[in-house]
Amino acid sequence: MPEAEAAVGELRLKHDWSAQHGVPAHVTILFPFLSAESVDIAALDEVFAELAAFDFVLDRVARFENGPVWLHPEPSEPFRGLTAAVWRRWPECPPYEGVHDHVIPHLTISDEPLEVVVAGLPIAARADAVTLIEEQADGRWLTRRRFPLG
């Protein structure tokens, strides 16, 4: 989500472990997912080709109780739709290992509960692709493939 990097990139590098390991600003679609060798690229292409690109706005800072600080995407429903589509195809991969009753789309900016002000809100953005990133042996995360939304 390059539209958000200018506003939250430095905060994420200081306070979000994933940014420190190469994960760009993003709204997670499904984590954890399959091992790298188990990913069916053609099947992911099919899933995402059936889903439309959409515009959204990161409209406010929120915080999970005693936990991460994040930006809220509005509308959130299209992100839930992406998650549901991938989960339907791979039911053995429930979002966040099934520990949450509801998936709340969000862009994490801090792993710890901080008081944060993000300049530049709202941030207009467009979701026109989904990026598959994979953890490498050294703990860094790299892009494997971008899947255009239909």
Query: Cα(74)–Cα(70) distance, rounded to whole angstroms?
Result: 13
pLDDT at 114: 87
Write the pLDDT tens digit of every residue in 72-113.
999 999 999 999 999 999 999 999 999 998 999 999 999 988
pTM recorded for the entire structure: 0.94
Q: Is the pLDDT of residue 66 over 90?
A: no
- pLDDT per residue as tens digits for the range 42-61: 999 999 999 999 999 999 99
Strands (DSSP E) contained in the chain are 54-63, 69-74, 107-110, 123-127, 129-135, 141-148
Per-residue pLDDT band for 65 (boundaries 50, 70, 90) equals confident
Domains annotated on the chain, with CATH: 2-148 (3.90.1140.10)
d(CA 107, CA 15): 13
Q: Are 90 and 132 in contact (CB under 8 A)?
A: no
Write down the residue that tokens 């690109």 correspond to.
53
Q: What is the pLDDT of residue 101?
A: 87
Q: How many CB atoms lie within 10 A of CB 52?
A: 10
